Amino acid sequence: MPPKPRPSEAVAKPPTVLASTVVIAETASLTGTFPIKIGANTVIHPRAKLASAHGPITIGEHCIICERTQICPPDAEGLIIGDGVVVEVNSVVEGSVVGAGSVVEVGLNCKLGPLTKVLEGEVVEDNTVIFGSGQRRIDASGTADARRRLLERHIESLRVLIPSNPSKFIN
Amino acid sequence: MPPKQTKGEYIETDTGNKVSRKSVILGSQNIILGGKTIIQADCTIRGDLRRTVAPSQQSGNVAIAVGRYCFLSRSSVLRPPGRTHQKPVPTYVSPRPPVVQGADQPLLCRTFSYCPMKIGDHVFVGEGSVVEAALIGSYVHIAKDCVIGKFAIIKDCVRIEEGTVIAPNTVIPSFSLVSGRPGVVTDELPETAQEGLECRLPNYLIYNIIYMIAGVQTLTIGVVKNIYRMI
């Protein structure tokens, strides 16, 4: 008996632009009607949800989008995630612009700790670290380059571990 | 045609693990469940994030080892921690990995690799908690919405309160009560804490059930064994 079609497959696929070196797991979900663009060397873990029902999604190069994350742009202006961004497990991203090297408008090289929240319309400056119950500080250690190198190694190892199936998402 | 098998929500394995059909288990060949462990719906276990450097002789390719009588609640996530390793460049690897040579460092290669995660017996993980610890001892209760950072080590008999965020690389000693963001030890647990943290029915209840059933049917060794298997 053939397996029953899953309801998620009945939903129309969004127009996607995937770079050739993207690692995208088969069980990631890309839904919606607006286009989704994913840059080179980005890793999308299984069960990550990218929903472009309300606006386009653009993800830069060298990003890691972990499982159980939800990326949903709030309006038609869309959501842009810069280069080298790691979106960790269980995160919800509904902001508009996320700067390069960081994890609402978030500046460059920011780090948001676990379970922290950024309110609507808030602008987080470059190099900010948000931690604990909403405390903030500016990271002046200048380790952005080192972190970027670590991230690239991380992506190299994930390339081995996560079976990629971009053809499922191209239409 | 054979009769249609009734499909329950849980699949039971030979060792008594109950795994929800709606759970997300990736890389199941790298996961060890000790037995009597319950995995609820929507629970994510990342067994696919295994070591990428040469595995050691003992652990092989195991990514996550869970002990007996563990309970993983809905929407919890277990994922092994990862870091960049520094170790001498093996001569047999070809092509050679990226090499970093500092002024005072020997020839090192730095590669990112995940490390196996070990969880003891009687560990409860609450709803929506994310666990990236390296080691969790036995009799550990993690309440809901907690985040256990990468490479954290939690020893035996620890209670972690709701919404706690444990920073990466933290070591939590035995018999502690942990809460807050970042999670700190706020109190000590009494020496009797182990009984309260057990995820199995306490022995006196098991005896009660045995006596209850014994009232209805004759108690043979087989019946007692069956009861123990059920519990």
The continuous run of DSSP H or E covering B195 comes out as helix B193-197
| In-domain check, residue B209 | no
Q: Tell whether B195 and B88 lie within a shared domain.
A: no
- Our CA angle for B75, B76, B81, nearest 5°, is 140
Separation of alpha carbons B124 and B138, rounded Å = 10
pLDDT at A98: 60
Contacts (Cβ under 8 Å, ≥6 apart) of B86: B108, B109, B110
Q: Please give the structure tokens belonging to residue A154.
A: 């991380």
Relative orientation angle of helices B221-230 and B203-216, to the nearest 10 degrees: 130
Ordered domains of chain A (ranges, CATH):
13-161 (2.160.10.10)
Residue A4: predicted pLDDT: 58
Q: Do A47 and B149 touch (CB under 8 A)?
A: no
Domain enclosing residue B100, as ranges: 83-112
Quote the minimal CA–CA distance from B113 to chain A in Å. Answer: 7
Q: Is the residue at B210 inside a domain?
A: no
- Same domain (yes/no): B74, B34: yes
Asked if the Cβ–Cβ distance from A133 to B128 is below 8 Å, we say no
What contacts A74, CB < 8 A, 6 or more positions away? Answer: A54, A55, A94, A95, A96
Average pLDDT over chain B reads: 81
Among A46, A67, A157, whose Cβ lies nearest the Cβ of B113? A157
The CATH number linked to B47 is 2.160.10.10
Strands B64-68 and B31-35, bridge-based pairing: parallel
CA distance A131 to chain B (A): 8
What does pTM read for this prediction? 0.78
Query: What pLDDT is attached to residue A7?
Result: 54
| B175 is a domain residue | yes
Residues B24 and B74 in one domain: yes
pLDDT of residue B185: 93
| Residues of chain A under the 70 pLDDT cut | 1-12, 90, 94-110, 113, 120-121, 171
Please indicate, yes or no, whether residues B28 and B103 belong to a single structural domain of this protein. no
pLDDT above 60 for B56: no
Q: Which residues contact A73 (CB under 8 A, 6 or more apart)?
A: A34, A52, A54, A55, A56, A57, A79, A94, A96
A140-154, B21-35, B172-186, B210-224 — which is least confidently predicted? Answer: B210-224
Q: What is the ipTM of this complex?
A: 0.77
**B103 & B37 share domain:** no
